[in-house]
Structure 1
Amino acid sequence: MLQRVSLVDTVEQCRAVTRQLLLQTELAVDVEGIDLCRTGPVALIQVCTPKGEVFLFDITALGRDAFSLGQLSLVLESERICKVIYDGRADADALCHQFGVQLRHAFDLQVQHALRYSTTNDRYVKGLQRCLDDSGVVPHFERARIERIKEVGKRLFVPELGGRSSIWIERPLRQALVDYAACDVKYLLRVKALWAGATSQAVLRVTRERLRGAMTAQVPAKGSHMSVRDFSLGPHAQYLGREAVAQPRCFKCDSTGHLARSCPLDDDVFDLGYGSDRVYYDSPQHYSDYSPPLTFRDIAPDGYIDSSGNEW
């Protein structure tokens, strides 16, 4: 069991903890719920302090009182306190439409991870586990324990693993879910501190617009499109409100979503006439695995923005 994890399930507790949190300048924040978005109920809000204290606000028990009488909205909407999150679009969507609370001054580590590690043709954003692995903030001796906590938790609420998503709103809250929720915020502040640098302002800018886009969109912040990168890269990164890298298009059937080498209508490949040496193409003129000596990044003028909205 993780240490220093407190469940906050009364208005009095909520108000007392909120007073402590309002003294901070930086907090890690995450939200758990059922099919979380504007239509999926919020169950917990996790907050971790720089000292490693984790508070789980039981929204199932507190309801709207958490934000009004408990004053939790003062923390979430504060422009002074930086909320470090990992892809908070569904969180912001749920808080805004269900409780009228806007998540402000947030710093999305998913955006920062992409700015550090993604290439311009990388279509997808990465999950939290990939971020933690790349940052190396989780000590080696803790990794196996964290993996067990996450696995046990998922088996409780992921239907494909035999769980029930409704378990998040069942009370008393199971200890395995307490541990799972705490894990999601425990390391976020460490990652931000490790990666502090020139991209911080770009991350704040993209995060602000990205959350605003989720809250004002016509559809809930859920679905397969959430895995597609929706912002450009580089020090002048911008939220695009659309996919940054277009879906691949097959020149054989002229449909999107796959390349010619994996076209479901034709399994043929082009043969160069060297017996067993067969080369797969993305188009008749270009090798799919060909890399020229100079890339466009090498010769593009500074500040050039390509058709996908990526700045070079």
Structure 2
Amino acid sequence: MATVNFISSTAELSRVLATLTIAPTSLPSLYNDVKGANLSRHGTISLLTLYDHPASKVYLIDVHTLGLSTFTAPAEASPSGSPVFFDVRNDSDALFSLFGVNLKCIHDLQLIQLATTHPRRRAFVSGLEWCIQSDASLTYGQQQESERIKKLGKELFAPERGGTYEVFNERPLRPEIEKYCVQDVLHMPTLWCVYNGKLTNPFWVWVVREDTEMRVRESQTPGYVPNGPHKRVGWRADDIEQARNRWENQ
């Protein structure tokens, strides 16, 4: 079981950055998630959850307290490698617009899942919660616990359930919110193995890389819209045909 560490000072953060595991394997080491109030350029970032999988350590980095120093804290060694996100769009929007962080060389697990799912399911993307329940090989008991954690978390932060996103800014962090944040990253390595293991077709490898880069670029444009039905849209048949033409003519 991974240990959980709450990081709220630059000294602590510098030590963490200097000791992150960058393993030279096909399985990425670092898995990330961002939480905040109205997470986007129009809101705030409260927490950056970072899972160092080889070390079995989860870091809840207190962006609400640290502010810009979250991203400028000195470290003896800079983290490298390709971190994994699940649907990077709003994370990238908030990081770039609020702190000038330009994500590079990242993996978007949502797009890998989309590329490896049945062709009839590619018109719409899947959410992380659905992926965990469907593909993380949870036991019945683990599924029940996962659903309980999700339910309790949403009741605290989701406005439509009577909650408020400001709960992410409360200190000390509520145990229910901590578990909610931690759960999202803990299952990502398993999902990576499931989906990336199926990603063997060179065309789809290229599509995932191209669309991941496009998501980051679009999230940084003035006209980016962080919420709405368009966020569920995946790849239609004409999108795939156009992508194949680009791939063949590159």
Please tell me the TM-score bracket, short chain as reference.
Answer: 0.7 to 0.9
Counterpart in 2 of 1:9? 8
Q: How far apart are the structure 2 equivalents of 1:108 and 1:6?
A: 25
RMSD: 2.5
SS at match of 1:41: coil
Higher fraction of helix: 2
- The answer to whether the 8 A contact 1:138-1:187 is kept is no
SS at match of 2:179: helix
> Structure 2 length as normaliser, TM-score?
0.83
TM-aligned CA distance change 1:121 to 1:23, over 3 Å = closer
Counterpart in 2 of 1:47? 50
Q: How far apart are the structure 1 equivalents of 2:93 and 2:17?
A: 22
**AA in 1 matched with 2:81:** I
SS at match of 2:44: strand
TM-aligned CA distance change 1:212 to 1:161, over 3 Å = same
- The answer to whether the 8 A contact 2:133-2:143 is kept is no
Tell me which stretches of 4 or more aligned residues in structure 1 moved more than 6 Å: none
Q: How far apart are the structure 1 equivalents of 2:120 and 2:82?
A: 28
Deviations 1:241-292 (A, max 9, x none): xx95xxxxxxxxxxxxxxxxxxxxxxxxxxxxxxxxxxxxxxxxxxxxxxxx
What percentage of aligned pairs have identical amino acids?
27
1:28 to 15, 28, 31: 31
Query: Counterparts in 2 of 1:284-295, with a 5 A limit?
Result: none
Number of corresponding residues: 233
Q: How far apart are the structure 2 equivalents of 1:22 and 1:70?
A: 17
Query: Counterparts in 2 of 1:99-138, with a 5 A limit?
Result: 99-119=99-119, 122-138=122-138
Higher fraction of strand: 1
Question: Unpaired segments of 5 or more residues in structure 1?
Answer: 234-242, 245-303
TM-aligned CA distance change 1:121 to 1:203, over 3 Å = closer
Question: Unpaired segments of 5 or more residues in structure 2?
Answer: 246-250
Query: Counterparts in 2 of 1:177-188, with a 5 A limit?
Result: 177-188=177-188
Decide which moves more: 105-114 or 20-29: 20-29
Larger radius of gyration: 1
Deviations 1:69-100 (A, max 9, x none): 256xx54xxxx411111101000010001101
Residue 201 of structure 1 deviates from its aligned partner by: 4.6
Q: How far apart are the structure 1 equivalents of 2:52 and 2:151?
A: 25
Counterpart in 1 of 2:61? 57
Counterpart in 2 of 1:69? 73
